[in-house]
């Protein structure tokens, strides 16, 4: 391979890398990023906050938890102290889920004002307590079901 061919090959490689990098910045990356927002920030986005993937973080508003253990339907409100958003999550919540704790929910904010969660994560300590011998799975959610009418 002569010098001229190597020069054109190097230029072509640099060109391909530049195009790929530009695509990531201006198109592909923006479509795949999930932003982390507080309830106040999500509400402030207005129309731009609807139907886009978001991670919503804050605290579970005390007294807002409604848990239907038969339908595995969890509803609660997330607050950051200045704003709050209604959240609906399908499936069993983490065992440590309770009023007043820090949570991050991933999903989409609907035009109906309800955040539809596809993933629910809770802040917890590093301590782990193994279930007691013969403990039933229903016992894990005792604290969640207290006071919710379930």
What does the domain layout of the chain look like in residue ranges? 1-33, 35-125+132-145
CB distance 120 to 97 below 8 Å: yes
Nearest 10 degrees: Cα torsion 99, 100, 105, 107: 70
Query: What CATH number does domain 35-125+132-145 carry, 3.60.90.10, 2.40.50.140, 2.30.30.40, 1.10.3470.10?
Result: 2.40.50.140
Residue with tokens 């959610």: 141
CA distance 14 to 107: 38
**Least confidently predicted of 30-44, 46-60, 129-143:** 129-143
Tell me, what's the pLDDT at 147? Answer: 47
- 13: pLDDT confidence band, cut at 50, 70 and 90? confident
Residue 139 predicted with pLDDT over 80: no
pLDDT digits (tens, 9 = 90+) for 15-43: 888 887 777 666 655 555 667 899 999 99
- 111: pLDDT confidence band, cut at 50, 70 and 90? very high
Round the average pLDDT of the chain to a whole number and report it.
82
CA distance 22 to 25: 5
Tell me, what's the pLDDT at 1? Answer: 60
Tell me, what's the pLDDT at 84? Answer: 94
> Which of these, 101, 144, 92, lies nearest to 122 by C-alpha position?
101
Tell me, what's the pLDDT at 32? Answer: 59
pTM > 0.75: no
CA distance 137 to 78: 26
Mean pLDDT of 101-110: 93
């Amino acid at each position: 391979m002569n010098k001229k061919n190597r020069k054109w090959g190097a230029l072509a490689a640099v060109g391909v890398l530049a195009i790929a990098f530009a695509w990531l910045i201006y198109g592909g990356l923006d479509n795949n990023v999930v932003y982390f927002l507080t309830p106040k920030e999500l509400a402030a986005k207005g129309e731009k906050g609807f139907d886009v993937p978001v991670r919503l973080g804050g605290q579970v508003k005390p007294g807002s938890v409604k848990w239907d253990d038969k339908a595995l339907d969890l509803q609660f409100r997330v607050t950051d102290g200045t704003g709050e958003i209604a959240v609906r999550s399908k499936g069993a919540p983490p065992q440590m889920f309770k009023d007043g704790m820090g949570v991050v929910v991933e999903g989409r904010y609907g035009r109906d004002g309800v955040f539809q969660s596809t993933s629910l994560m809770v802040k917890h300590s590093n301590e782990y307590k193994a279930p007691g011998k013969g403990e039933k799975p229903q016992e894990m959610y005792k604290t969640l079901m207290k006071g919710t009418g379930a």
